[in-house]
Structure 1
Amino acid sequence: MEDIVKKVEINCDMGEGFGKWKMGPDEELMKMIDVANIACGFHAGDPSLMLKTVKLAKAHGVKAGAHPGLQDLFGFGRRQMVIDPADMYAMILYQVGALKAFLDAEGVPLNHIKPHGELFHYMQRDLTICRAVLEACALFKVPVYGAKGADEEKAICEELGLPFIEEAYVDVAYDKNAKLIPIGQFKMVTPEEINTKVLSIGRTDASVDVEGNKLPLNFGDKPFSICLHSDMPTALENMKAARKAVDVLNAEKFPNIK
């Protein structure tokens, strides 16, 4: 299959407010990203904000995808829940379908689907839940974003005919086995560390784990996607640091790709 990611890119979780509660600096972040993962109303987002975020992505030429999560506004989709696989399947259809309605209204294609927060971790722990999520995603026939090294999820995507876009994380922490540590369980990463991590992944194919040890990621020479979170206190500074590093890497590694 031809590589979908043509150069090093930044994807970011967007539209994660609710009503009058604003989370990230979306207007500024959208100017610096390549791909937006738009909250679909369960962990964050509401109809007006979803439409606003779609319009914002369209205005800046940013690819837009669905960012479904657990039905947990109070916990921002980061608390553990036990959900029947059939219910999970329906929840993904509901959320992605809702975002697609707004995309269709603005003439913007659905670019991808990327599970959020505890849903992401739930899929890593429970292959039945993972399959329920991915079978719902398969109906939309778009790529799924997921963690580098999530081999079981990648295998199910291949079985279902879904492209699986592997991403690296630079504003959260990995354990020694390259598994993500849930947000809130590690020391906040600084913008300077983010810049260093992005350059390291691009130049040495490795990052660092939570203990500061070298952590191979094994992207090889292929372009890759960097994930950043808009709800971090230093989200704007993080993005500026990552964007600077990504632009350097693309000039070095993929100078002929616009």
Structure 2
Amino acid sequence: MDRIDLNCDLGESFGAYRIGLDEEVVPHVTSVNIACGWHAGDPLVMEKTVAMAKQHHVAVGAHPGFPDLLGFGRREIKASPDEVYAYVKYQLGALYAFAHSQGLEVQHMKAHGSLYNMAGKDIRLAEAMCRACRDFDSQLIILALAGSQMEQAAKEMGVPCAREFFADRAYAPDGSLAPRSQPGAVIHDTQVALDRVVRMIKEGKVQATNGEDIPVQCDSICVHGDNESAIAFVTAIRSRLAEEGITCQSFGSFVR
């Protein structure tokens, strides 16, 4: 049976600033990555977002980033592996407090922004993040870009890992995401994106920017919910998957 998880970043509002349409998107996904207060989010937002996930029976994951509210965690910070290890563990603990108090487990960890991208290419940072997750909870699943150094480090260290696919992003021939500065890096045609998702699930392939097919095996699709068109895209994905006989369920039920 074909099955896939749909994950989305949530809880990125901060104080008086509202970011994203969390209430609208959460009913349509199966796992959520909740900001832990460093690149976005705050304690009240974390409490509310965990409660929302519980209400809709959606799996909860931590979404740690660099301590960079002004840059939304998208600026690279020169951090050592020891620092990254501590950063991740600290933010895991923050989300755990809110999840545990509401009777939920923390299913996974997905890094945010530059932390995600840097660990995807730097094996030393990837290993540090894997150690932090393993030391926090040996059953915690790392959600990583398929084919990245994060996936490789998790395999080598015996840390559970789920691989994600980006429905609206173009892929380079090496399996990495095409830089946003490159024309066509973001796919705006909903039908094209949906066809890519279905092909990835059924055939394990995606067409790269050079026109060649590359292998991509994934357990989760990353979707966004920060504008009205994104909400329409999420609902379109759910509808298309149902038509194709593909079940949506949190990857914690089939990745350990």
Q: TM-score scaled by structure 1?
A: 0.86
1:86-235 alignment runs, 5 A limit: 86-139=82-135, 140-141=137-138, 142-150=140-148, 152-183=149-180, 185-187=182-184, 188-190=186-188, 191-210=190-209, 213-219=211-217, 224-231=219-226, 234-235=229-230
Output the amino acid matched with 1:103.
A
The CA deviation at 1:157 is 1.5
> Does the 8 A contact of 1:30 with 1:57 survive in 2?
yes
Q: 1:119 to 1:253 in 2, by over 3 A?
A: closer
How far does the alpha carbon of each residue in 1:219-249 deviate from its partner, in whole angstroms, 9 at most, with x for none?
3xxx721111333673212212222222233
> Does the 8 A contact of 2:4 with 2:247 survive in 1?
no
Q: 1:158 to 1:205 in 2, by over 3 A?
A: closer
Q: 1:195 to 1:75 in 2, by over 3 A?
A: same
The CA deviation at 1:127 is 1.6
How far does the alpha carbon of each residue in 1:24-74 deviate from its partner, in whole angstroms, 9 at most, with x for none?
111110010011111111111111111111000000000001111111112
Q: 1:185 to 1:52 in 2, by over 3 A?
A: farther
Q: Distance in 2 between matches of 1:208 and 1:232?
A: 27
Q: 1:67 to 1:249 in 2, by over 3 A?
A: farther
RMSD over equivalenced CA pairs, Å: 2.5
Output the amino acid matched with 2:74.
R
SS at the partner of 2:104? coil
Output the amino acid matched with 1:229.
H
Q: Distance in 1 between matches of 2:11 and 2:104?
A: 16
In structure 2, what is the equivalent of residue 58 of structure 1? 54
> Does the 8 A contact of 2:8 with 2:33 survive in 1?
yes
Q: Unmatched 5+ residue regions in structure 1?
A: none
In structure 2, what is the equivalent of residue 22 of structure 1? 18
Tell me if 1:33 matches 2:32. no
Which deviates more, 238-247 or 43-52?
Answer: 238-247
In structure 2, what is the equivalent of residue 239 of structure 1? 234
How many residue pairs get matched?
246
Q: 1:39 to 1:210 in 2, by over 3 A?
A: farther
Query: Identity of paired residues, percent?
Result: 33
Give the counterpart of 2:75 among 79, 83, 105. 79
The CA deviation at 1:251 is 4.4
How far does the alpha carbon of each residue in 1:167-207 deviate from its partner, in whole angstroms, 9 at most, with x for none?
11112222122101344655442233322221221233222
Output the amino acid matched with 1:146.
A
Output the amino acid matched with 1:120.
Y
> Does the 8 A contact of 1:8 with 1:246 survive in 2?
no
The CA deviation at 1:253 is 11
